[in-house]
Amino acid sequence: MRRASLLASLLSLAAVVSSTGCDPADAVIPEHWVVEPPLTHEPRPMPQPSDEGLDEEGSLLASYADRSPNKVEELEAWMLPFQARAAVAELLILTADDDPMRLRRLMTRNARWGFPDRRQLQAEPIYTKDDPLGLEFLTAFRQATSRFKKRAHFNLEPLPGFEMFAATGAEPVWCSYSSDDGLDIIGIRMIVEDGHVKIDYIGFFVDRPTGQIRVPATGSPPPVIPYAKFPAPLTLPED
C-alpha cells in the first residue's frame, strides 16, 4: 500500500513539474555563451619629463625604463622591511614599462591612491569596475614620476627594533620620494598580504604643488614607529 501511495505521489510531482515548465528538457538554452574578452593594453611612450625631471641625468621614471622586472618566485620570497626598496624599484620598473597587468600583482586587492599623506587623504581605489586595469592611476603616476629627477631624495622610514612587526604584517612600511624643494612628494605604503609583500597605497600630487599644502581638522597622521607598551611596575618605589 505504501509503495502504491509513493508511486502516486511521484507521478503527481512529475505532472506538476511538466505543467510548470520546470522540466530540464524544456529549459531555454542560449545559442552561444557570452565570453568576456581578455583585458589588453598597448604600452604607451614614456611621458615627457618636466620640472626636476629635466635634469641632465633624466627623470626618476626614465631611469627604470631599461631595467627588467623580477621573476614571480623572487617577489614571493621578499620580506618587509628588508626588501621594501626592491618593491619600490619593481613598482617603478613596471610603471616605466606601462604594464598594468604585472603591476596589479604587486598591489593589494584593495590598493588605493590619493594624497602623499599617511592619513591617506582623498584615497580612491586604483582598480574599479569601470577601470579594471587602473589606467587612470597609472597615467597620473607616470606623469608624476617624470617630474622627479633620477636621484630624487628617497627616504625609507626605519623601524628600529620593530622589523618583525612589519615582516609578520602587523605594521606597514612607508617610504617616500621628495623634490629638492620638498614640495613634491610621493608616498608609498607597503604591507604583507597573504604572506607576500604588496603595495597598499600610493600618494602623490597629480599636478606639482607651488607651495606647502596644509589640510586642517584631519587629525595627526599615524606614527611611523608603533607605540610600545611597557608593563607598569606593581611595587611601590623605595624611599
Residue 236 inside a domain? The answer is no
Residue 75 inside a domain? The answer is yes
Domain count, the chain: 1
Residue 232 inside a domain? The answer is no
Look up the CATH number of the domain holding residue 161. 3.10.450
What pTM value is reported for the model? 0.77
Bond prior to 81 in cis (omega within 30° of 0): yes
Q: Are 146 and 50 in contact (CB under 8 A)?
A: yes
Supply 226's cell numbers: 608603533
Q: How far apart are CA 43 and CA 145, in angstroms?
A: 17
Residue 229 inside a domain? The answer is no
- In tens digits, what is the pLDDT along the chain, a chain of 239 residues? 545 555 555 455 455 445 555 555 666 676 767 667 778 889 999 999 999 999 999 999 999 999 999 999 999 999 999 999 999 999 999 999 999 999 999 999 999 999 999 889 889 999 999 999 999 999 999 999 999 999 999 999 776 777 888 888 888 999 999 999 999 999 999 999 999 999 999 999 999 998 887 766 566 666 665 555 545 455 555 65
Residue 11: count of CB within 10 angstroms of its CB: 10
